[in-house]
Structure 1
């Protein structure tokens, strides 16, 4: 792998991952509508543009070996914006991948693609990484659509696709739900590297979480592509549980999507 395109490279996750994915034998091609000022000229190059601009997408994809697709809206928004940016934008990425012979696309899906699955429905077993979609809003639906696009482009065009159902990828868990759903920056990079490896040929949908003591989402699908998380959100437990009791009776913990399942969609339409 010599040239990796990162869409949405100016966003929080893109900025977090860039230093962790740099290697002497790899060039990171950064693509975003926002300008990126801190380019490392030895390992990075920048193409400015939006996923809604197909000519810009084609220019960004031309000459890369793989794509890490982080670009798009990362929370609830209007139906029109979700369709234009998350769905049409992702289809543009896949279409350009076919046109330019790119054989590996790693997509940032989300736990919100399956947000209405519950701990009770897991029936005492870890919830599989490829459990069927049950989106908790327009954003979650768009991520389920992205996964389905990946399935079609794999079956029809033979592209290797890995959908990452990311939990909470931040420096630390954003709340006590993150004790189950957190994925550390270093583990996020480990998951991306596994997704780019030969172990990940084919089509895969995996959870993006660390090795959390309180996790109830399966690590088996990630392990199958070589993902070995090293960190555990339990290091933050004392801080968060000082104010909250850990119980799966709480809908925030009971449902995959947590509070997103209660989001007032009508106010954003």
Structure 2
């Protein structure tokens, strides 16, 4: 049996990342992978990036990582309210101003996709890791998508499972021939009702692979306090507490 852990969308939330890494360690899982979005919306973008770097955790380039690494302009999104749009501009500017040159370089060199292959007995399991899709790191694929979308991803990648993040909403979908599409959710900015830190444990043996979404509480008040003491709008502290609030 082999187990790996996959997590995504930390978004500068160091207390949440520390809690997830501690939980992975308690489970005795050695191999960890990150699907990107290390920065924006909480004040520890540098600390999160350095932890991923120092622990040698393979990590993909999320859309937020790419924006900070290459100074890509922020474009307002139609799905966001005026309040969220204003908060988003301020929060991303905070990341741009705070990121170190070394961490910016690290983000700029992250890979776009990662494919893994594990051999157990006579069975090879192929795992495709993406931030959001095969063609983009900024495509929103939800559980409600037609199955054909995920089947096509599995076929294009020639994999047994595609694991993604980006939407901050976890799900598992199974298909014929033991195939899976999984969203591991978000470590640091969950959009699920419970707002818990979310990640994936994937267990494999010669007969099957079993994806399990793990959701755990973390020191939320520490993150809320960190946001409120930084230049990041209080909007994001209220979001984590699942409350409605003004920008400041």
TM-score above 0.5:
no
TM-score normalised by L of structure 1? 0.31
Which structure features the higher share of helix residues?
Answer: 1
Which structure features the higher share of strand residues?
Answer: 2
TM-score normalised by L of structure 2? 0.33
- Structure with the bigger RCO (C-alpha within 8 Å, sep 6+) is 2
